[in-house]
Amino acid sequence: MPMLEPEEARRWFDGAVEENYRMLYGVAYNILRNPQSAEDATQEAVLRAFSQINTLDNPRAVSSWLVRIVQNVARDMRKKHTPILASSLEDGEKILEPVVATVDVDQSEADEERNALRSAVAKLSPEQSAVVTMRYMEEMDVVQIAERLGKNPNAIAALLHRARGALKKVLVRKTKVRIVRKGSVSHVD
């Protein structure tokens, strides 16, 4: 039976990290909503995963395992830095974007909607989060995602379907709120 030398095992892990880095960063960003924090969380998670690599039961599921660790690290970071991150949670991208003099109602509503969606993505299970991120961030299809996660394409399709359903609910709710708001504004006018 073939065995890996320590250096080969290191390279194997490097390859897994290279392959999944973008997705891991996306998962962390949706939880923390700050690029620097997301980067820190991803690095921390990768190092933690490497130090615990001997606890990885199924090396075929390394992507799912990395996502789970990233989610845990990012959630811990959010809890620890609540005072800082609470402000970024409310204002989100406003901090990063240049401040505009006029208040664009549609833009703020879109931001609000996006924040709500990010919260919904952050609440997904690690596997659902990985699937959604690969699908929309890396534009991978079901078969490619299945290959990456070492799962059956049907299982991935089911995961994606459930995740989309959860996110769609949030989107529909927000759209309804927007329609009601616009209706009340026009009524007052």
Contacting positions for another protein (CB under 8 A): 1-4, 6-19, 21, 25-26, 29-30, 35-36, 38-39, 42-43, 46-47, 50-54, 56, 58-60, 93, 96, 113-114, 117-118, 121, 132-133, 136-137, 141-142, 157, 160-161, 164, 167-168, 171
- Angle at Cα 136 formed by Cα 22 and Cα 10, nearest 5°? 25
Compare residues 6 and 187 and give the one whose CB is closer to another protein: 6
Q: Is 33 left (phi over 0), alpha (psi -120 to 50) or beta?
A: left
| Residue number with CB closer to another protein (58 or 102) | 58
For the CB of residue 10, give the shortest distance to another protein in the complex, in Å. Answer: 6
CB of 80 to another protein, least distance (A): 20
The secondary structure of residue 93, as a DSSP letter, is: G
Min separation Cβ 78 and another protein, Å: 16
Q: From residue 174, how far is each of 40, 44, 119, 171, 179 by CA, in Å?
A: 31, 34, 13, 5, 9
DSSP 3-state percent helix, strand, coil across the chain (nearest 5): 85, 0, 15
